[in-house]
Structure 1
């Protein structure tokens, strides 16, 4: 763009700075920020927010707060995304008091809280063992007509499980099942409950929940496998870890969810739990479909001549 004499504006810099931070290239992101200032491009709320979010991602919430002060002194108004990033940064750095202070500042500055803000606050409070405070925020969110998303639900369920209130967590989970698509449970939510149930040695209930998860189109992941492998290890059950995972692979293949099946196969191989011969046959048959073979050959040729 620069070679073609296009002038880079603040929105382009915002995208680049955000992308560099997400790739872990914080030094390049900061150099780009300095370059932007040097070239006379005046930062707006969008660029400032990208910089604040990036600094929090690399564990520098105090530096991000300094940027927030500069941003406000320059007349740029922080939005919900700005405050959410800063709260999350302080929570992840173990500075929950600072995160709560940012939340209060947000309210004082009349910034409208959205579902993401509430999710960050609830997740941080639950992660810090402050379940009663999280419940108060949850009640406030509902009273203001803000619908919890999957992150908020999962955070509350996690907090309840950690506090030993599994029955209350399951009740909230059942409520979650009847919400909008963005509030539906994902594999993270299920893993929280699997872990809690298995810790109470209620493996049969955990397996029932696993079956329900798969019926709803949600595939197990690495964490799911590890939870059940740990639970099954040392128990007097007719099914060992290898057989359990092998059965999951077969079930996923039958439902044509090959990506989920391959993830479990990968876990099995990493743990030296080789699938059965009949399962290997299904894997090889899927790999040897003509289109997949042709795609693999094409990739090889491209790599040779690139």
Structure 2
């Protein structure tokens, strides 16, 4: 990063209206790894809070972001995402100008760097430009294309949900540019089939992989299992599980998770639970993701007691519940009128720094207010609810008005129990 760029970034940092932090530290060697990380963190902090398109671009330019750094890749993604979402009529031109400038930087003339530019075009919804960049790599100092840039282009198609274009590119461009697809190439294609509801079309890709001497990995099978499960193709799930076992790609409960998930989607909860019990009794350590599928399945079936039992069992088995299990159970407990248990889980969530969405917490708070009005809970519960709302307002100040609107909609009788004092 040049001294001019560092000076510009420092100036932006100090002048930013949302920050009052000290200036960016400048080590003795400005090109050191420490210096790069400090500048990247400063740019990232600015980008997260900035909304003005011109300032966003100024910050990204001043930081001289590069795909070689994880922090910089995160900052670039935020830059593109924010510029894509802004309502400014000038933003599409500004975004394209920034990305065109980025891919043309003299310090980024490598296939790896420009491949990331292709992904950024995809993230920005500029798939045509991503394709154009791939086709003109030689003009950007990359005479020979490999699977790396091809995979970036396929990923750009996935980001845009353009599955027809992805399949066309997969069939045509490797021949045109003499590119040998790798395992990631095939996984991208299988992922496209699964996302477009055509999971069984992936079998032809598996055959092609075999003919090319490329062995499917766990990622390949897990993508396919997820797609087949989502489409309710239970027999195909069994078929792929057998393939995994044959190719020694099975470990833990993850392959069986796909079958359990498939049974849950088909509302065959007792079969799913029986399969899970059999897996656990064989000595395999339970998987929190598998528990999640079972919990949400029983919740949807209305069997909250079994869902709660499974949730408690997770802790007993040394399997820590994830935020998804908490949020799901809290929501359905509120739907089922079990506000006392939902309140306990909600407090546990926030102790872990997990925050259920506004609609779920609204269900909980409204439910407690109604029970208090009806004389079914004690004032102590409302004290706990007040504490939760206070934490929510402190953590998410933008929702304060939303909570006030909720309160205004409560029955007059409940106003004496206001959570807002």
TM-score normalised to structure 1 length: 0.70
Unpaired segments ≥5 residues, structure 1: 281-306
- Shift of the alpha carbon at 1:115? 4.8
Moved more, 134-143 or 95-104: 134-143
Give the equivalent residue in structure 1 for 2:344: 208
Give the equivalent residue in structure 1 for 2:353: 217
- Shift of the alpha carbon at 1:6? 4.8
- d(CA) in 2 for partners of 1:59, 1:205: 38
Give the equivalent residue in structure 1 for 2:224: 86
- d(CA) in 1 for partners of 2:401, 2:146: 45
1:273 corresponds, among 397, 403, 406, to: 406
Deviations 1:69-99 (A, max 9, x none): 3222333222222122112112222323322
- d(CA) in 2 for partners of 1:138, 1:187: 21
Determine which structure has more spread, i.e. the larger CA radius of gyration: 2
Deviations 1:249-276 (A, max 9, x none): 422355xxx2xx257558658xx5378x
- Shift of the alpha carbon at 1:110? 3.5
- d(CA) in 2 for partners of 1:222, 1:190: 15
- d(CA) in 2 for partners of 1:144, 1:38: 51
Does residue 18 of the first structure (1) align with residue 155 of the second (2)?
yes
Inter-CA distance 24–131: structure 2 relative to 1 (3 Å threshold): same
SS in 1 for 2:406: coil
Larger relative contact order (C-alpha < 8 A, sep ≥ 6)? 1
Give me the CA root mean square deviation. 3.7
- d(CA) in 2 for partners of 1:37, 1:246: 65
Inter-CA distance 274–238: structure 2 relative to 1 (3 Å threshold): closer
- Shift of the alpha carbon at 1:21? 0.8
TM-score normalised to structure 2 length: 0.53
- d(CA) in 1 for partners of 2:227, 2:211: 21
Inter-CA distance 146–9: structure 2 relative to 1 (3 Å threshold): farther
- Shift of the alpha carbon at 1:219? 0.9
SS in 2 for 1:273: helix
Give the equivalent residue in structure 1 for 2:41: none
Inter-CA distance 267–96: structure 2 relative to 1 (3 Å threshold): farther
- Shift of the alpha carbon at 1:175? 3.8
- Shift of the alpha carbon at 1:101? 2.6
- d(CA) in 2 for partners of 1:109, 1:165: 38
- d(CA) in 1 for partners of 2:153, 2:315: 38
Moved more, 204-213 or 143-152: 143-152
